[in-house]
Chains A and B, each alone.
Chain A
Amino acid sequence: MKNLVFDINVILDLWLERQPEDQLRLIASLIDGQRSGLARGWIASPSLHVLEYLARAQFKREGADPEEAKDRVKRLLANLLQRLNPLSSFGFHQDAALLAQTDLEDAQIVAAAAELQGPTAIVTNDKRFDTTGTALVQFRPAEVSAWLKQLPAEQLPNEQPLAFVDIKTQQNAIRPALEQQIHRVLHHGQYILGPEVTELEQQLATFTGAQHCISVASGTEALLISLMALDIGPGDEVITTPFTFVATVEVIVLLGATPIFVDIEPDTANIDASLIEAKLSEHTKAILPVSLYGQPADMGAINAIAARHGHLPVIEDAAQSFGASYQGKRSGSLSTIGCTSFFPSKPLGCYGDGGAIFTSDDRLAQACREIRVHGQSARYVHSRIGVGGRMDTLQAAIVLAKLPRFEHEITQRQAVARQYHDLLAMEEQGITQKQKQDIVRALPCSSVAKPLPWPKPDRTSVFAQYTLRVQDRDRLQTKLKEQGIPTAVHYPVPLNEQPAYRHLCCPDCTPVAQQLAREVMSLPMHADLSAVDQQRIVTALKASGV
């Protein structure tokens, strides 16, 4: 969504009815634009008191009772702030603002507006702002509509490259909360295990339905601490998938235990539960499935196997699936322990490293809390071996600012995925030969670039990735890149073929993982991916001649 920063004179025109009725309606509709999805509206903080003075002065000049004028203007400002977001003017803006050609007030507006992400216009009636050195534009109210309809340069075909994951656009939607959270932490100074950490843990526990949430330094740390809490070590075996990010397996090996690789399902790319039992042994200490690409593994089947074999603990690696559900329960709360990551590009990310452990087992929760702080059960009492694995307060504060929008973002991600799917997966539907021919003609890519099937009916995905199976992947990736479309491969080599791990298992033991590693390719995916960009991606895919 584009940004509109309103200058004082436009607001005053509206309040004081200093324009013809149709102009007033136009201004009102622009200010209301965020509600109608037109644009995100802002008012620079330094403008607020100026508005107050000018409106009050006008009413006083006209003979109004000063107290009454003051009260009514306060209500006008409150009304305005229900529609426009206040835009911060920071201390660090002021030096440059003083040097600007225009007056300080205008320079403050420009400096504040330039902090926004994406296309931003100042809406003004008869002023010229000095926007030198910024990407800002300025318009009269009557010109705004045409600008809003214009595609930004990066959306024009073959213009600037798209982002694979856009994590900056989101900031506009949460900026006031984000700033408040960050400044609260700066102010109270409890940078380690501060109140935001506790608040986040409570909110995330409620979100997942788990009894306990223990925030940690990263997704990797979440896995490591969980395995340590389960006393996994040398001689132990942990059943897992070879088709995952390396961290899943790395932590097993770090603790001296042995990963036992089980092949994956071709349709979900998650561990194939039907193959687990054959790999269990007297040394098996845990099962570690990964909910890849955002869709939970078949946790019901896996839990049942674990229960049949001495109640083995099951740790869900939910680094990619936080927010997804399985049979009505949230990923992360589906087994003995769930681990997630707040890496910035994850569906719920922070602005650095972060992660969390979920469990409803009090004893395990206590163990994880102690291991997170050097195995400390009381100050300088180290009851067990631990790590320095806390999530810092600033990162917790950032996740807190993002949390209220998370459900909306999940819905958006699912809508983006649905759109890709409809455009690319039509061949899978039960359709007549004639229709099939039409569709194949319309979308020649679908026979060679095939999306993974839509998530199973008993679960939802948060689409951390939207993944296709393609032939001739290298060529396709190159062609798309030439058109500014980034793609990614998760993962090109199963872990049982990686130099550090291949001695643990033969590559041919997991043929489906081997096959998928050759074929998978993910398309750009994020909650703010616009319909225009998505069309550009699909068109480019078609044009790549596969």
Chain B
Amino acid sequence: MDFTFTPEQDALREQAREFLAANPEPSWAQLSELGWTGVSIADELGGAGLTFVEEAVLFEELGGALYHGPYFSTIALTLPALPSDLRAEVAAGTASWTLALGPLVPDLDTADRVAVVGGDGIFELESPEREVLTTNDQSRPLGVVRGGQSGRRLADASVLAEIGVRSLTALALEACGVARRALEHAVEYASTREQFGKRIGVYQAVSHPLANAYTRLELSRSLALWAAWCVATGDPETPLAAAAAKSSAAESAVAVCETSIQVLGGIGFTWEHELHRLYKRALGIESFGASGTRLRAELAVALLNEKTEEAPVTTPAPAPVEQGG
């Protein structure tokens, strides 16, 4: 048992954090140059042949940086459906994708190509009309597609199970990145801001909610990393882990942001400060795909209806996320 990152994975995180601090709005081509679009794509297709654990590092960092672009929709949502030649294009940075799983489709403003689910397969949707909607979270716009022609058949609908667990896990990881960033803001403020002659972090009414925020974040992060490892290795517990991770991390990210807004006082309530954008991403993650309530209802079915004494290991994958991914 070893639940640590390798030095290479740590280096990837360092690289991501530095790059995203310097380039808050990177292009798809830039991500491809860094090798991020081909992380889990095979070597012979121009990828790095690594796993979802490396992608997990990037999802967490991209979440914390409030990255606006088609990484989630390409890598978490669509990649499992793409045949080799199209994977090679993703690795090369010449194409990005999104997948319309429901009426609200993510990243329609930035993704090059659109896939849809139809019958027993997943198809490319050629030249649809795209309408990008106004969303609370401006870093991940949602939109609707109309018209277009059904193009190439990309994959069998059986890949939806993998798409389901990858997207739930990626969302959980993004939520952890968001929560970490929000907590950093609050800790920094509580350590420097003075009122009544003291730094506000000495007041337990401030410090204890922050300790709770840290606690929620670390618990959720443990679940998200567990789920990432499960996805990477095809572990039989993957559906349970992914559902647990999304249910927990989305809720934690919202709670951590709310605590942080409170700790920053008036500044935390302004449009200017980054916190509201983190908060809106957290809320966006919570409402995107399956809700916590629904995921827990599915978990309860798995936990309570199993016949054996064992913790259940073979449960149906959570139904593919309904709302646009």
B partners with A: no
